[in-house]
């Protein structure tokens, strides 16, 4: 088997002045090119996990290996080059005075020569459809546009891994859809490994694998279909279920027999059509 892109073993972390561990004894491996969604209720330790992977926090126990290299204070900066992070608040992560400068910020940090920088900034902004806005200031952009710029900043760095720390949570449905589609393309076309930390269950249902974290413990690690099958248990641990699953529950409450396994929206439509034509 191929070496995993991210390998986490026995990871624990505790914030100072806090009684319990934010994460305890977590084991997780992510393959290259995989799209992993991490879900969990508020304060379950999802964001902590993201920050630990990027070396922004130092774990209490356990090791993290990125592309075979263990994360230590000496390898930190090299590893960080492989990881691009998009955070929650589009306003607070905008460093540059205008769009193109913000995209260039990460490249400047790595000491990329200016000629290369100009090319990569343009390519990244074209990728996210923001090249026409290159000269705009952040105050003149919408939240979704700012988040696209943040994504362009990550793309320009050409990382292997993209971590989205609730990157779509402050956007309207339209902006959310656009960002997710962009990520989907990047994941397929460029083979980026994507870790998406999210509350948005529809976003999680698009992932190849879902990890459920509850109070710092890894509760489940499976395909979305399997995870969402546990409908009631998910709701109990403070999460939601996808729309198709909700619809299924409603139909079941009407006394109609619906299949046990998870159905996507399309699957649900197909099943409904079959069900009606059988009658």
Q: Which residues bind other proteins (CB under 8 A)?
A: 51, 54, 56, 77, 80-81, 83-85, 87, 89, 91-98, 100-101, 104-114, 117-118, 121, 137-139, 153, 157
In angstroms, what is the minimal distance from the CB of 67 to other proteins? 17
* CA proximity to 35, closest of 263, 228, 196: 196
- Give the shortest CB-231-to-other proteins separation in angstroms: 35
Indicate the residue among 114 and 252 with the shorter CB distance to other proteins: 114
CB of 120: closest distance to other proteins in angstroms? 10
Q: How far apart are CA 209 and CA 192, in angstroms?
A: 15
| Between 92 and 277, CB nearer to other proteins | 92
Q: Which helix (H) or strand (E) holds 159?
A: none
Residue 39 or 163: which CB sits closer to other proteins?
A: 163
- Pairing relation of β-strands 209-214 and 217-222? antiparallel
- Minimum Å gap between C-beta 179 and other proteins is 16
Question: What separation in angstroms does the CA of 269 have from each of 12, 140, 170, 247, 265?
Answer: 43, 41, 30, 11, 6
Six token digits for residue 206: 């698009």
Cα separation, 203 vs 8, whole angstroms:
24
- C-beta closer to other proteins: residue 1 or 139: 139
Identify whether the C-beta of residue 243 lies closer than 8 Å to the C-beta of residue 265: yes
CB nearer to other proteins: pick between 94 and 228 = 94
Closest CB 113 distance from other proteins, rounded Å? 6
């Amino acid at each position: 088997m191929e070496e995993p892109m991210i390998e986490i073993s026995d990871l624990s972390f505790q914030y100072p002045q806090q009684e319990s561990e934010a994460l305890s004894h977590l084991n997780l491996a992510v393959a290259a090119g995989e799209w992993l969604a991490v879900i969990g209720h508020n304060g379950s330790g999802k964001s902590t996990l993201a920050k630990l992977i990027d070396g922004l926090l130092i774990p209490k126990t356990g090791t993290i290996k990125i592309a075979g290299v263990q994360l230590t204070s000496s390898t930190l900066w090299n590893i960080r080059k492989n990881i691009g992070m998009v955070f929650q608040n589009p306003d607070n992560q905008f460093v540059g005075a205008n769009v193109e400068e913000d995209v260039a910020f990460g490249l400047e940090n790595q000491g990329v020569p200016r000629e290369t920088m100009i090319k990569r900034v343009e390519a990244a902004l074209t990728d996210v459809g923001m090249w026409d806005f290159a000269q705009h200031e952040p105050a003149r952009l919408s939240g979704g546009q700012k988040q696209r710029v943040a994504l362009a900043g990550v793309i320009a760095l050409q990382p292997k891994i993209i971590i989205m720390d609730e990157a779509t949570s402050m956007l309207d449905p339209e902006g959310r859809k656009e960002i997710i589609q962009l990520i989907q393309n990047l994941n397929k076309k460029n083979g980026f490994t994507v870790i998406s930390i999210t509350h948005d269950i529809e976003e999680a249902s698009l992932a190849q694998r879902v990890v459920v974290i509850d109070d710092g413990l890894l509760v489940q690690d499976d395909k979305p279909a399997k995870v969402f099958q546990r409908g009631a248990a998910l709701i109990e641990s403070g999460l939601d279920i996808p729309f198709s699953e909700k619809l299924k529950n409603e139909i079941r409450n009407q006394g109609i027999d619906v299949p046990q396994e998870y159905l996507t929206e399309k699957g649900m439509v197909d099943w409904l059509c079959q069900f009606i034509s059988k009658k």
